[in-house]
Structure 1
Amino acid sequence: MPTYEQDPKELLGEDIQQIATPDDSDFYMETPSLLSAVNPFTSDQRVQQSRQAAFRIDNSLGSFIASAPFSQFDRVDGYNPFDNDAADIKGYEDFADSFINSGSPEETLAIKHRIDQQKADREYLSEVGGAGTISSLAMGMIDPVNVAAMFIPAGAVARGGSIAETAGRFALANAAGSVASEASLQATQETRSAMESISNVAVDALVGGILGAGAQVLAGAGAREAVVNSVGNNLRGIDSHQSIGAAQVFNTTLDQEQLAGLGLANKTLSVTPAGRLAQSPSLVSRQINQQLAENNYFFAKNDEGLATFTAAETKIKQYDAMLYKQMETTRDAYQQYSKSVSASGAKRMNFVDFNEAVGMAMRRGDQSDIPEVAQAAASIRPIFESTKARMQELGILPEDVDVVTAQSYLPRIYKFDKILSDRTEFRGRIANWIQGISAKGADKAGQRIEKINAGLKNAEESAPRAEALASDIAEAEKWSGKKILLMEELDKRNKLISQEADTQARLTRIEKQLADTSSERLQARMMKESSDLKTRLDDIAQAKEELPVYQRHMELLDNPRKYRSELRRLQKRANSTTRLNASRERALKQMEPLSREEAEDAADEIVNKIIGAPSGLVPADIIPERLVGRAGFTKSRTLLIPDERIEDFLESDVNHIMESYLRQVAPEIELTVQFGRKDMGDQIRQVSEEYTRLIKEAKTPKQRAALEKQREADIRDITAMRDRLLGTYGAPQDPRSFFVRAGRVARNVNFLRLLGGMTVAAATDLMRPMMQHGLRKSLGPMASMLRNMDAVKIATKDLREMSVGLEYVLSTRTKAIADLTDPYSRRTAFERGLNWMTQKFGNWTLMNQWNSVLKSWSGMIVQSRILDAARQISSGGEIAKTELRKMAQVGINEDMLRRIGEQFGKHGEDMDGLLTGHSHLWDDRHVREIF
């Protein structure tokens, strides 16, 4: 059995994951569709993000908002961002001018963040392709400067005027608006270069001139009538010359999406949802039908060389290659383990136990005491990591998702039957976990109470300080604009205070002289001087009291930013009392841990949600609502009990887990890629809107009633096909019920009882490739296969990379025939045994081998046929119209054939008439996906 080394970059490679958008060089980045980009109400997160980026980059108002200094930074004395060889701006030397006025490390960091945001916005707009261009144009159009420029009278069409004159006026108006807009953008963006602005002004002037010339040409009634007629013809679907490239793939009419062939024969297809939608009066329904489910129909557009859409179902099936590689890797690891055990003479575990050991290791950082188990776990890990990254890229999972219930991630699939048979034990473990979380939360709440009390004390102390500082600032602002007068008052008081010692000494001397003299006249003079000196000392005392007040005024006026920041801090702290009291109330509530009775009641509710989950899909939020806000529990309602604590109640068989995991995530990923969301809400709305228009255009009540009925039928069929891909169509509400499980057992038994001779009955399938491709095209590869078995092995390996011919391992066709694919089944030992027997039964009866060989042969025929046509087109030759029609039916147009031929010329191989492309080596990602 071959060993397949798994590279994380290949697990979701283009041969597995076909993406509808063309020519995307980034592995995970999908460029949004142009339809989504021009839809103002789109829910596509990539388009919304591109609009936000364009608003910040290409709109003067958005650029100003993004750069406006809403937060004030306290200046740090002596701070210079260019000190220490400009260490603070390392990596930002090209934008050094932006840091000249930075007064603190915080302000420098904010400027760097602003530059990083601008660079990230520009990079993102470039990555999303056409959607980024459309977003930039839209944000530029609603720029206030450009809107104002529209009212400049220079840009008016003059009746009878010359084309050159009007073009000049329009160019002038556009250039004027562009200059103003670019000036605003230059002032608010560090990363906007002068050459970029000059280029934009020149382009705006050129576009304005072209529009002006066109407007003058259309000023005549005849010209306007011709344009109106042309547009009307296009809207009515009248033939018009259009390209057949990938960019025009959605630009088809109802007639082009019509089924080819006789109408009577096509009516027989109405027994299936796909057949009904293919003949729907709604163009959108017909297009969605092709994008959703596989079909082998010919459409009228195929005759024109227009390719049929690639279905999401086709892309989902390609995940089988990942499952095949995982199972083969596990099998090979078990064979190595068996050899090692045989050599050492130790007891060997069986294959099922080995698979469970691999699953357990994957919960423990891919570590195990058994080297082969650890090796298998490490080899399988990239599948989970790649799908996780893909789902994060599409917005299905948050960017910060992390593993918190184990050392490493393994999907959690419950053993429902073990839970039912040992419910008390399972409930007890969950209750113990809930109590433990609650106790820890109560301890943390107590610690928070201490911090909150300290905060309340600070708030109480800050209130009077804030009031005093506000009063000081208000008094100081009375001197605003009169700083010179304030300085004079300060000087006056300083001079007066400086005379205090001399005045006091003179007063002491006079009072002594007054006591010694007997002359009345001299006494009178001395008493008057003594009184004057005492008055001066009183003035000095008053000056000493007033001086600090005036000094405070001066200090506040000299440092307004510092003290206003301090006032804001004090006011914020003083006003935090309400918030802190609310936090204190919550913390007090959380200080009370859950009782054992409360924990067991919550555990009972969790167990009921697990075993009673609709369709067997256990929801993420199963923590009871009443626990939210209690000690240890936040708004998240996910059951975060460590896997190891309930491991015996979880599936560990890595084969079963991987199959269930891929059956769930593959449709979710591919439907999101194809339609933006897995529920296809936008597409269903478009169908409804188109029918609303058709109903308005209907002439009779009977036609309107028929269209209303058809709308319901189309939406029902689309929903059913979507649910079939998701695996939820017709899924039982209670998979553990006796009747559901009895039916599943009966299907397994009937498969074993009645399909033993299915290989003989399927012998006529050998004629299908001949009927489909003709004797020459089908027998040619067969002859090469018989002559060169090495070539067959090479081609078969290529096909397996494309999920073709995997029946021997996966039994996909036999399971589909017998309706045995059930991702939600509860598995008892008896049911697991029956499942294993049905899996092996296809091998014992040679049905799986037959299907693998037949599909491989068909795959080689189709591959050789496509590559042969591509080789002819790329070499400048031509192929028959019927062959081009067949290529279009399988989703390949002439341009794509040419590109396939180029890749085949670089990497493909002609092995004695058997062509194989080695598509996993192709460097054109989009071509590889389509092929």
Structure 2
Amino acid sequence: MAGGAILGGLLGAGAGALFSRADLGRLSRMVEDAQQPGFDGATDVLHRELTDMAVGNRSVGAAAAPVDTLDDLSIAGGLAGKVAGATAQLNPMLRTLTSPSRVVRSVAASLMDTPVYLKKNLRGEGEIAAETAMQEWTRGAVAQAVEGQRLTYLEARKTGLRMSESEFRAEVGKAMRRGDKSEFPAVEKVAKEWRARVFEPLKKRAIAAGLLPEDVKVATAESYFSRVYNKEMITARESEFKDIVTRWAEKEIDRSALNSKRVLDAKTLDAQREINDLNMKVQRRETDLQERLQAGEISPDQFDENEVVQFARRVASGERPAMPQRLSEWLRKLQRDGIYDKNGDLAAAYPELRKIPGLLRKSRKGTQNTKGGLGLDDVVNRAWEEGFLNDAATATSDAFRDTVVERPTIRAFLDALDNDLRGGAVVRVADMEAARSVDDFDQVMRAMERSGIDFEKVRFATTEAMRGIAQAVNRSLADLDRAKIAKIDQGITEMNRRGDFDFVNEADRAAYVSEVVNNIFDMVTGKAGDAGPRIDLPVAKHGPLQDRTFMIPDVLIEQFLESDVQIIGQRYARLMAGDVELTDRFGSATLEGPIEEVMNDYSAMREKLIGDETIDAGERERQLKLLAARERADLRDLQGVRDLVRGEYRPDIQHTGFARILRAASAFNYMRALGGVAVANLTELVRPAMVHGMTAYMGQAIKPLLTNTAAIKLSVKEAKLAGAVTERILASRIATLAELTDPYSSASPIERFIENAAAGFSKMTGLLHLNDFNKSMASVLTQNRILQNAEKAVASGFDSLPAKERAYMGFLGLNEARTEAIGRLFAQHGETLENVRVANSEAWMDDGLRSAYRAAINKDVDSIIATKSAGDTPLFANTPLGRTLLQFRTFAIASNQRVLIRGLQEDKARFVGGLVGMISLGILAYMFKQIESGREISNNPGTLIAEGLDRSGIFSLGFEINNAIEKVGGPGAYGLAAAGGQALMPGADARQPASRFATRTAWGGFLGPTFDLGERTVGLASIGLRAINGNPDLTPGDIENIRRLAPFASLPYWRWMIDGMAVPAAKEAVK
């Protein structure tokens, strides 16, 4: 306190104006703390760690983290690996998992659902892919909402509601724009259920992941995320839409200008207050000095010179109060986490950050991208929670912070940082008084130096300088304060200079508004090169609305928005779940960091190859070319699957007239050709036993189904929440099998009619119920196996599990820690009902483990009952032409890895047993199809075995190629099988073509059902030409074409009558 006493004695009441007793005590403690030996020890340790990182080229804290090797990320199993290598060019999944780049394999495993075992899985290690995790939302949550919606609608109809189901869904969508309010109670109920199950949980996760733009507040985030534009309506009523948007833009400019003026006025007022305070301080200090002179309180001999010199010496040696941590200093200490400055805003405001090793990162941090940094929004949030900018650190809950202490914007943060760097000393709100006291202390020190105290030599300029020291210090303080006032005045002038809101004239303003409106119109209609549009629509690149998003109130453009809550909800879940899961893992939905790592990895491989002196120049050049080609392919695969997961793969080609024609043709093909699809899928009844074993299948699924349906229902309910059993509600699997899925669909009335007809056809096939039954049985076995392993892991440790069970858990992404944690949660919340384990995951308090458990269910069930993922089929198959050429064939490609390769990796006895069972059911399905179509059943054992193998789904890819070749008369498996059968049974019938291709034309066999459709349509058109030429008679070929083009005619209810009776009779009549 000696320093405070000296200052108080020198300046009397003037010092009291600068330092209260509490201030002096705080300053003294600051000085004492700064003298402690460990005061900045944490910073020293961090600095040493960062130096190690820079030298060793590793991220902070990553030294102990295991890094998967190339071998760890290889496909397990000798034969399985060979099959995968031989078929690797079929799809992005197998290509990336056989890449020479370790990084590519790692990213692929965390990006796409991989239904094959990797070698790391054999140790019980694995991850949950983004695509797998999102199914909890896109299927599970959406299906629950849709089912509740349908039940509520049916109940409301019974009580007098008079509207169609589509009108009901539209009313729900409108209610959600009005705070879930409606005149219809049933509409309100459904709106709240959609919000609780889908919209609100995903909105919270999106905000937590930093997907909310700066100018969109939490209160309006839901509208921002869920808006779906009716592009056809907007295009048809362009002028009306533009008029509404023009009025909105005008008001936004006025509102933004007003807000800007308010901010400017507030800053000006604060600056003026500071000027007034400084003027008052100068005046008060002068008045106090005069009063003390008149009263005789100031005496030349008041202090001993040695006492003042001793104080000066202590100050000169560093014994002075330290400024509380400033915003810029706090920012510099984020090296451990790093900062991802995407647009360079932070580096532009604070160039010195570039010199701090490891601080600025090239991508955002994620669970699979630990080298990334915090996003700028995360940095702002941390600064806010630390107490900078406003008093968020004193808030006791997130809800309180959202409503009382508003989170600062990124722009406000950057402005504060700029102020801090210019000397404004931005500190925590709690430290503001201490900062002011320190600033005043420094001001007094400068005044003392100007008054004759030489702090370098620790003496006065002259002995006489002791005389009148108080007066001299006060005069110096006044000069310093006046200089500060001049600087503030200059700042006020700069703040009030001409800005973005000053248009030259009304014509200038009108031109700007017109530019904004046209830009918005082009984006929402897809004319700006994006057929989306996605969520974020920037309003303008410059001017008053720069960096703003199109947040017009929904009610103003409601007539131009899609109101069907089911369409909105499914799109919302599709887009948001993909972006959230990708961001959680990779730091951004665009995979910026991982893609850069891939390129770096290939650069390292090239450098290694260039430095290899054991190969000659020609061979080196050849290998470099191969490496470059492989890098391009890997990047194309990763970026393509990324876009598929996000629902935006090549949107520029998805809405052309050609694409819409092909989409309608595919739906028509589905309705005319797949009526008997349920019978064709009978072989999948064996799949659960093939994966989990016949003992488990009979004891844990079939027996409880007959004796303990309550337990089965509880287990299936869990699978429904995960999204594994949703086919009856969403029909997602049958849509992928028929290539009817289109995340960009914006259909015309005719297209909607065809789509609705196809949806009705799906229900009539019976496959929806068969799929749900198969997936239900598979999910019961999957859950039992997971929970049984988890129980044992908790009781005896993860290593006590048999090797194949550890591998199974690793395959599902449930490593040792997750497995044991799930076991503890099951013990606390789950139950076992006569050999059926029910997790009751809704009661789990750990969202991460709940999601991991549900993702594991989805991964296993989607592999058992083959459901293709984004990486299962060629990227070409996701284009309009690709979907057309590969319609009904992508299942065969997906089965290659989901059934064959996985089967080769697991229990061999189960694989052989499953193979026999599926062949047997395949033969049975063949017989049913022959009876249904009125064709004879072959008595050739070779043909029966070939049909069983073909329909089993295990060797689908090979038979798809074989059957197309045999269709044009080429040799193949059926010919060899028939010959072998005749050798065993001389009386057996001769070669028959594959029954699956019996009704296809030669063109259809190679190029798909749409070309078959075209060929038959041309054949029918020839009837008119013949009639013109005087030959109006129909031929048997015309009857066949008519039959094959008739929708719904392939349904087994009446196909036996049409193909067995009506068609033969008609052909006979026209002969």
- Relative to the length of structure 2, the TM-score reads 0.52
The answer to whether residue 227 in structure 2 is matched with residue 412 in structure 1 is yes
Aligned to 1:682: 593
- Partner residue of 1:752 out of 671, 674, 683: 671
The answer to whether residue 826 in structure 2 is matched with residue 907 in structure 1 is no
Q: Are residues 788 and 269 of structure 1, via their aligned partners in 2, closer, same or farther at CA, if it must alter by over 3 Å? A: same
- Partner residue of 2:248 out of 430, 433, 454: 433
Question: What is the letter of the counterpart of residue 654 of structure 1?
Answer: V
Question: What is the letter of the counterpart of residue 640 of structure 1?
Answer: M
Q: In 1, Cα distance between the equivalents of 2:244 and 2:216?
A: 25
Unaligned segments of structure 2, at least 5 residues: 1-13, 34-39, 57-63, 303-467, 854-1071
Q: In 2, Cα distance between the equivalents of 1:743 and 1:138?
A: 64
Aligned to 2:952: none
Aligned to 2:539: 623
Aligned to 1:511: none
Are the counterparts in 2 of residues 456 and 580 from structure 1 also a CA contact under 8 Å? no
Q: Are residues 605 and 708 of structure 1, via their aligned partners in 2, closer, same or farther at CA, if it must alter by over 3 Å? A: closer
Q: Where does 1:692-771 land on structure 2 (aligned, <5 Å)?
A: 692-698=603-609, 699=612, 700=615, 701=620, 702-729=622-649, 731-733=650-652, 735-771=654-690
Q: Secondary structure at the match of 1:616?
A: coil
Q: In 2, Cα distance between the equivalents of 1:260 and 1:444?
A: 65
Q: Are residues 860 and 384 of structure 1, via their aligned partners in 2, closer, same or farther at CA, if it must alter by over 3 Å? A: same
Q: In 2, Cα distance between the equivalents of 1:864 and 1:351?
A: 38
- Partner residue of 1:375 out of 185, 189, 208: 189
Q: Please say which of residues 855-864 and 265-274 is displaced more in the overlay.
A: 265-274
Q: Secondary structure at the match of 2:216?
A: coil
Question: What is the letter of the counterpart of residue 108 of structure 2?
Answer: N
Aligned to 1:589: 503
> Deviation of residue 839 (structure 1)?
2.9
Question: What is the letter of the counterpart of residue 852 of structure 2?
Answer: I
- Partner residue of 1:313 out of 131, 135, 143: 131
Q: Are residues 671 and 690 of structure 1, via their aligned partners in 2, closer, same or farther at CA, if it must alter by over 3 Å? A: same
- 1:633-675: CA deviation from partner (whole Å, max 9, x where unpaired): 3433322332211110011111110101111111111011112
Q: Secondary structure at the match of 2:837?
A: strand
Q: Where does 1:529-678 land on structure 2 (aligned, <5 Å)?
A: 557=472, 559=474, 563=478, 566-568=481-483, 570-576=485-491, 578-579=493-494, 582-583=497-498, 588-589=502-503, 592=506, 599-600=513-514, 602-611=516-525, 612-613=527-528, 614-618=530-534, 620-625=536-541, 628=543, 633-678=544-589
Aligned to 1:812: 732
Q: Are residues 696 and 568 of structure 1, via their aligned partners in 2, closer, same or farther at CA, if it must alter by over 3 Å? A: same
Q: Are residues 893 and 381 of structure 1, via their aligned partners in 2, closer, same or farther at CA, if it must alter by over 3 Å? A: closer
- 1:594-614: CA deviation from partner (whole Å, max 9, x where unpaired): 666764564334212321251
- 1:756-789: CA deviation from partner (whole Å, max 9, x where unpaired): 2211111111122222222222222212212222
Question: What is the letter of the counterpart of residue 357 of structure 1?
Answer: E
Q: Are residues 560 and 746 of structure 1, via their aligned partners in 2, closer, same or farther at CA, if it must alter by over 3 Å? A: farther
Q: Secondary structure at the match of 2:78?
A: coil
Q: Are residues 410 and 358 of structure 1, via their aligned partners in 2, closer, same or farther at CA, if it must alter by over 3 Å? A: farther
Q: In 1, Cα distance between the equivalents of 2:92 and 2:267?
A: 63
Q: Secondary structure at the match of 1:348?
A: coil
Aligned to 2:146: 327
Q: Secondary structure at the match of 1:816?
A: helix
Question: What is the letter of the counterpart of residue 216 of structure 2?
Answer: V
Are the counterparts in 2 of residues 308 and 891 from structure 1 also a CA contact under 8 Å? yes
Question: What is the letter of the counterpart of residue 643 of structure 1?
Answer: D
Q: Are residues 823 and 391 of structure 1, via their aligned partners in 2, closer, same or farther at CA, if it must alter by over 3 Å? A: same
Q: Are residues 431 and 882 of structure 1, via their aligned partners in 2, closer, same or farther at CA, if it must alter by over 3 Å? A: closer
Aligned to 2:74: 257
Q: Secondary structure at the match of 1:323?
A: helix
Q: In 2, Cα distance between the equivalents of 1:455 and 1:307?
A: 58
Q: Secondary structure at the match of 2:783?
A: helix
Aligned to 1:57: none
Are the counterparts in 2 of residues 357 and 652 from structure 1 also a CA contact under 8 Å? yes
> Deviation of residue 853 (structure 1)?
1.0
Q: In 2, Cα distance between the equivalents of 1:579 and 1:412?
A: 40
Q: Are residues 136 and 645 of structure 1, via their aligned partners in 2, closer, same or farther at CA, if it must alter by over 3 Å? A: farther
Aligned to 1:507: none
Q: Where does 1:865-884 land on structure 2 (aligned, <5 Å)?
A: 865-876=785-796, 878-884=800-806
Q: In 1, Cα distance between the equivalents of 2:584 and 2:786?
A: 26
- 1:257-282: CA deviation from partner (whole Å, max 9, x where unpaired): 34322253232231222112222222
> Deviation of residue 440 (structure 1)?
6.3
- 1:20-57: CA deviation from partner (whole Å, max 9, x where unpaired): xxxxxxxxxxxxxxxxxxxxxxxxxxxxxxxxxxxxxx
Q: Are residues 435 and 855 of structure 1, via their aligned partners in 2, closer, same or farther at CA, if it must alter by over 3 Å? A: same
Q: Are residues 622 and 424 of structure 1, via their aligned partners in 2, closer, same or farther at CA, if it must alter by over 3 Å? A: same
Aligned to 1:62: none
Are the counterparts in 2 of residues 446 and 587 from structure 1 also a CA contact under 8 Å? no
Are the counterparts in 2 of residues 321 and 802 from structure 1 also a CA contact under 8 Å? yes
Q: In 2, Cα distance between the equivalents of 1:138 and 1:891?
A: 38
Q: Are residues 452 and 140 of structure 1, via their aligned partners in 2, closer, same or farther at CA, if it must alter by over 3 Å? A: closer
CA RMSD of superposed structures (Å) = 4.8
Aligned to 1:788: 708
Q: Are residues 801 and 591 of structure 1, via their aligned partners in 2, closer, same or farther at CA, if it must alter by over 3 Å? A: same
- 1:114-157: CA deviation from partner (whole Å, max 9, x where unpaired): 9xxxxxxxxxxxxxxxxxxxx9978624279x99xxxxxxxxxx
Question: What is the letter of the counterpart of residue 299 of structure 1?
Answer: L
- Partner residue of 2:105 out of 271, 286, 293: 286
Q: How many residues align?
A: 635
Q: In 1, Cα distance between the equivalents of 2:828 and 2:697?
A: 25
Are the counterparts in 2 of residues 435 and 595 from structure 1 also a CA contact under 8 Å? no
Are the counterparts in 2 of residues 441 and 590 from structure 1 also a CA contact under 8 Å? no
Q: Secondary structure at the match of 1:326?
A: helix
Are the counterparts in 2 of residues 747 and 820 from structure 1 also a CA contact under 8 Å? yes
The answer to whether residue 164 in structure 2 is matched with residue 350 in structure 1 is yes
Q: Are residues 403 and 686 of structure 1, via their aligned partners in 2, closer, same or farther at CA, if it must alter by over 3 Å? A: closer
Q: Are residues 683 and 640 of structure 1, via their aligned partners in 2, closer, same or farther at CA, if it must alter by over 3 Å? A: closer
Q: Are residues 912 and 697 of structure 1, via their aligned partners in 2, closer, same or farther at CA, if it must alter by over 3 Å? A: same
Q: Secondary structure at the match of 1:756?
A: coil
- 1:514-549: CA deviation from partner (whole Å, max 9, x where unpaired): xxxxxxxxxxxxxxxxxxxxxxxxxxxxxxxxxxxx
Q: Secondary structure at the match of 1:615?
A: coil
The answer to whether residue 286 in structure 2 is matched with residue 364 in structure 1 is no
Are the counterparts in 2 of residues 620 and 638 from structure 1 also a CA contact under 8 Å? yes
Q: In 1, Cα distance between the equivalents of 2:606 and 2:733?
A: 43
- Partner residue of 2:208 out of 389, 393, 397: 393
Aligned to 1:266: 84
Larger Rg: 1
Q: In 2, Cα distance between the equivalents of 1:448 and 1:880?
A: 66
Are the counterparts in 1 of residues 172 and 191 from structure 2 also a CA contact under 8 Å? yes
Q: In 1, Cα distance between the equivalents of 2:793 and 2:599?
A: 41
- Relative to the length of structure 1, the TM-score reads 0.60
Question: What is the letter of the counterpart of residue 92 of structure 2?
Answer: P
Q: In 1, Cα distance between the equivalents of 2:175 and 2:719?
A: 32
Are the counterparts in 1 of residues 136 and 851 from structure 2 also a CA contact under 8 Å? no
Q: In 1, Cα distance between the equivalents of 2:832 and 2:261?
A: 75
> Deviation of residue 863 (structure 1)?
1.5
Q: In 1, Cα distance between the equivalents of 2:264 and 2:825?
A: 68
Q: Are residues 280 and 605 of structure 1, via their aligned partners in 2, closer, same or farther at CA, if it must alter by over 3 Å? A: closer
> Deviation of residue 815 (structure 1)?
1.6
Are the counterparts in 2 of residues 405 and 643 from structure 1 also a CA contact under 8 Å? no
Q: In 2, Cα distance between the equivalents of 1:423 and 1:265?
A: 55
Are the counterparts in 1 of residues 234 and 241 from structure 2 also a CA contact under 8 Å? yes
- 1:195-253: CA deviation from partner (whole Å, max 9, x where unpaired): xxxxxxxxxxxxxxxxxxxxxxxxxxxxxxxxxxxx9xxxxxxxxxxxxxxx8664445
Unaligned segments of structure 1, at least 5 residues: 1-73, 82-97, 115-134, 148-230, 232-246, 488-552
Identity of aligned residues (%): 27
Are the counterparts in 1 of residues 697 and 781 from structure 2 also a CA contact under 8 Å? yes
